[in-house]
Amino acid sequence: MDIAPDELLLELDRIEATFDEAARRAGQGCAPDFERRLGAHLRSLRTMLGPDDLSVAEDALEAAERAMNAAEPEAPLAMLAMARQRLAALCRRVANGRLRPAA
């Protein structure tokens, strides 16, 4: 299934907004509706990324949940920051690769 680069970048924007909210709510617990939102992002990325890249997305979304559920969220927030940077770089690299015509 071919996904347009714009679709992937739009989903990345949505995920970034979710990460921002997770960081604001760190240490307050992850409500079921937020867990469902994280799951929806993962399902969406599953169709947009290759199987080798999906672990980066899983790690980032799990880091968001861990930060929200942590009693002391400082270290989980640092892990979330690193994981979201890796996911953003991956999504941009994949989107840029889809813009270039095959040789």
pLDDT digit string, tens, across residues 40-55: 999 999 999 988 899 9
Mean pLDDT computed over every residue of the chain: 93
Rounded Cα distance, 101 and 62, in Å = 34
- pTM to 2 decimals? 0.90
Rounded Cα distance, 62 and 96, in Å = 26
pLDDT at 82 over 80: yes
pLDDT digit string, tens, across residues 7-38: 999 999 999 999 999 999 999 999 999 999 99
Taking Cα atoms as reference points, which of 40, 37, 43 lies closest to residue 18?
37
Q: How many other C-beta atoms lie within 10 A of the C-beta of residue 47?
A: 11
